């Protein structure tokens, strides 16, 4: 996996609070929610680079048929 970049992001406190609530509703961290939204916006604008790795799925992995799930 490629090295992740860190970015300092300044947000209006009300926007941050709304993001935190939304992330909690989606069972994501605030950071993962921001990345999810940025990726979606880039994809919709046709600007998501083709070499971009997929964002990890949230939650526990599903049990496979072989595991008795």
Q: Which token pair is 7?
A: 């970015």
SS3 35: helix
Taken in order 42, 24, 18, 4, the sign of the CA dihedral is negative
Q: What is the pLDDT of residues 29-63, one digit of tens each?
A: 999 999 999 999 999 999 999 888 777 676 666 77
- pTM beyond 0.75, yes or no: no
Angle CA(50)–CA(46)–CA(15) in degrees, nearest 5?
A: 105
């Amino acid at each position: 996996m490629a090295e992740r970049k860190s970015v300092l992001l300044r947000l209006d406190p009300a926007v941050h609070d709304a993001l935190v609530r939304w992330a909690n509703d989606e069972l994501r961290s605030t950071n993962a929610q921001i990345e999810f939204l940025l990726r979606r916006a880039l994809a919709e604008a046709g600007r998501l680079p083709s070499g971009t790795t997929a964002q990890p799925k949230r939650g526990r992995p599903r049990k496979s048929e072989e595991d008795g799930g």
